[in-house]
Amino acid sequence: MIDVQAGIDELDIEEVLARPLMAHLATSSLDGPRDSPVWFLWEDGAVWLIGNHRDSFPRRVEQDGRCAMGIVDFDLSRGVLLHVGMRGLAEVVPLDSGRLYRLLSRYLGADKGRWNADFHRTVIDHLDLMVRFVPSSIVTRDQSYFATP
């Protein structure tokens, strides 16, 4: 069971996590804490991340799966500031091609033919693993304000 704590105002977690936002994955290392900005997919009660065996964050997850994650939707012009913070456990799992497509299409669009060829060649073609982060607690905050003209 996930412990969900609402912040200042009620926040629809599913709605926020469906947006193509950046997440920040916090992991630990022998040299101290580390932060990795990542694309993500919220699916089946978990946050799914992508990477490859050369990335450092999957190695840190393998050494210690305890992680924290922050996701922020901020738009100054609209006065929007939404935050979802999570704590939980992560694990490195095999790459799932269907889940990979669903994750990438959130950020790049559904038509693979329109994805940047250089990005495909230099990044996507080298993805060979996923990280599954299962939150044990979620804290939400809607600290939006109304912008004045």
Q: Which pLDDT score is estimated for 8?
A: 42
Q: Which pLDDT score is estimated for 149?
A: 54
Q: What is the mean pLDDT of residues 45-71?
A: 96
Domains, in order of start, for the chain: 3-142 (2.30.110.10)
Span 127-147, pLDDT tens digits: 999 999 999 999 999 888 866
What 61-64 contacts at long range (C-beta under 8 Å, 24+ apart), as own/partner pairs, is: 61/27, 61/90, 61/91, 61/92, 61/131, 62/91, 62/92, 63/29, 64/27, 64/28
Q: What is the mean pLDDT of residues 4-18?
A: 73
How many other CB atoms are there within 10 angstroms of residue 117's CB atom?
Answer: 8
Evaluate if residue 76 carries a pLDDT over 90.
Answer: no
The pLDDT mean for the chain works out to: 91
Q: Which pLDDT score is estimated for 2?
A: 59
